Structure 1
Amino acid sequence: MIGLFTGTMISAQDSVYAVSDRPKFIAFSPSKETKNVNGMLIKYYDEIDQEIQPKKVNGIGLGFNGLGVFFPVLFLVNITSIDNWGISDIGSEPLPDKMNTINGMQLSIVNMEPTVTNGLELSLSSNIGAPSVINGVAISPLYNFHHTTKGAAISTLANVSQKCRGIQVALINVCKDSRAIQIGFWNENEKRKMPLINWNFKNKK
């Protein structure tokens, strides 16, 4: 009887663990319990922190960080000083094992989370979640700030990346490690600074 009871309790604990580890259809963040989502993740703000469980989302990530709308205004004040836009922070290497991964679409008021997005990143204000990674297309009305851009970054005012593989389209485009085309009023990469159009397809030495 004791053995049967013990075995039943162990089996029940394993069953509870398995259920908690199953992908959720709708989940919320920040959360220490949520790990996998096949559907929709509704999030406020996640930071790279050991106490926050990195999440893998196959579907849509919805961000409602309303406080972040003030940050693009601060960047707008310094638009004439592109070197002071936090390039050094973007240069820090991403930590994918501690970052959310979204396979699908990330839609947010302003995206400030370090995230690996494989698909479409669409912001109603700006994508400034460095050190973040976009493998696909990032679109915002003001800015796109990423560590790595593989695909296309399209905005009105500025695209700033440490590493670019694809195309940047904005008023101002800056990339420190570029195999890409830049189209805008002013464009900077590791090789040259040019108006209208700039490019580099050679390995960085």
Structure 2
Amino acid sequence: MKIIIISFLTFFSINVFSQEYNLKTKYLFWTFHAENTTVNGISFGAFPNLNDKNRFVKTNGIRLEIPGIGFLAPLGNGSPISRIDNVSGKFNRNDYEFDEIINGLNISTGTVGKINYNGITIAAIAQFGELNNGIALAGMWNAMDKSNGIQISLLLNETLYSNGVQISLANSAIIMNGIQIGGNNYSKEMYGIQIGILNKSKQTKGLQIGIWNINEKRKFPIFNWNFEK
């Protein structure tokens, strides 16, 4: 009986933690189209794996996705983030099951998926992910569920939770802890600074600097503020 219980617990633990720890490890070069594999070195592939198959790939080093599907971003119907106007509480890492974790440098026209970026991710056009810890650079569009660090793009940065900096023509965050710099800045909850042409926040604890500034207390040109809860 004792052996059966131990065997069951072992099997259960492997299934629970399989998305974080892989038994297969590859060195130097390997494809990220593999399943349940850790690549130490350079991982490469043509497109993200957008399917329902349970998979987990970790790259420690450099991930190259060529051509990727970033060039299809302008044809999309918007990101899921843009259609969410409310989040509650804090970002819970345990609510997310990543298909990939990238520790290092990611380069593509655009990476899309249930991905955790740790380091620098560069997309020629657009990229979407669930968690960014580091720097996210995109030619047009960055969208992350949570960003801890810096988002820079030409047209649009989006995130549900942001701890850091957003720099773009337009920036959007549901909960912003940090700085937004752009032409049009929006936060549902803003704790920090907005610098731009049009700044808008529905719940503010910080400063707004721009041509026109809107918060829950007032609408004011040049300089606006609120430090009350």
Same fold (TM over 0.5): yes
Share of identical aligned residues, percent?
Answer: 24
**Structure 1 residues 99, 84: CA separation in 2 closer, same or farther (over 3 Å shift)?**
closer
Which one-letter code corresponds to 1:166 in the other structure?
Answer: G
What is the alpha-carbon root mean square deviation over aligned residues?
A: 3.3
| 1:35 match | 37
Q: Spell out, residue by residue over 1:46-98, the C-alpha distance to the aligned partner (whole angstroms, 9 max, x if none).
A: 2363x3421111101111254441222446xx8xxxx9874339979775443
RCO higher in structure (CA 8 A, sep ≥6): 1
| 1:58 match | 60
Structure 2: runs of 5+ lacking an equivalent: 1-22, 207-228
Cα distance in 2 for partners of 1:124, 1:156 equals 11
Choose between structure 1 and 2: higher strand proportion: 2
| 1:177 match | 175
Residue 181 of structure 1, CA deviation: 0.6
Q: Spell out, residue by residue over 1:27-47, the C-alpha distance to the aligned partner (whole angstroms, 9 max, x if none).
A: 113223x51110011122123
Kindly indicate whether the alpha-carbon contact (under 8 Å) linking 2:98 and 2:116 is maintained by their aligned counterparts in 1: no
**Structure 1 residues 90, 35: CA separation in 2 closer, same or farther (over 3 Å shift)?**
farther
| 1:125 match | 125
Which of 124, 134, 137 aligns to 1:136? It is 134
Cα distance in 2 for partners of 1:168, 1:59 equals 25
**Structure 1 residues 98, 139: CA separation in 2 closer, same or farther (over 3 Å shift)?**
closer
Which one-letter code corresponds to 1:117 in the other structure?
Answer: Y
Find out whether 1:72 has 2:59 as its counterpart. Answer: no
Structure 1: runs of 5+ lacking an equivalent: 1-19
| 1:166 match | 164
Q: Give the secondary structure class of the aligned counterpart of 1:128.
A: strand
Kindly indicate whether the alpha-carbon contact (under 8 Å) linking 1:72 and 1:143 is maintained by their aligned counterparts in 2: no
| 1:88 match | 84
Which of 143, 146, 160 aligns to 1:145? It is 143
Cα distance in 2 for partners of 1:66, 1:177 equals 30
**Structure 1 residues 155, 96: CA separation in 2 closer, same or farther (over 3 Å shift)?**
same
Kindly indicate whether the alpha-carbon contact (under 8 Å) linking 1:125 and 1:143 is maintained by their aligned counterparts in 2: yes
Kindly indicate whether the alpha-carbon contact (under 8 Å) linking 1:146 and 1:160 is maintained by their aligned counterparts in 2: yes
Which one-letter code corresponds to 1:175 in the other structure?
Answer: A
Residue 113 of structure 1, CA deviation: 2.1
Q: Give the secondary structure class of the aligned counterpart of 2:154.
A: coil
Choose between structure 1 and 2: higher helix proportion: 1
Aligned length: 174
Tell me which moved more, 52-61 or 166-175.
52-61
Q: Give the secondary structure class of the aligned counterpart of 1:190.
A: strand
Kindly indicate whether the alpha-carbon contact (under 8 Å) linking 1:161 and 1:174 is maintained by their aligned counterparts in 2: yes
| 1:22 match | 25
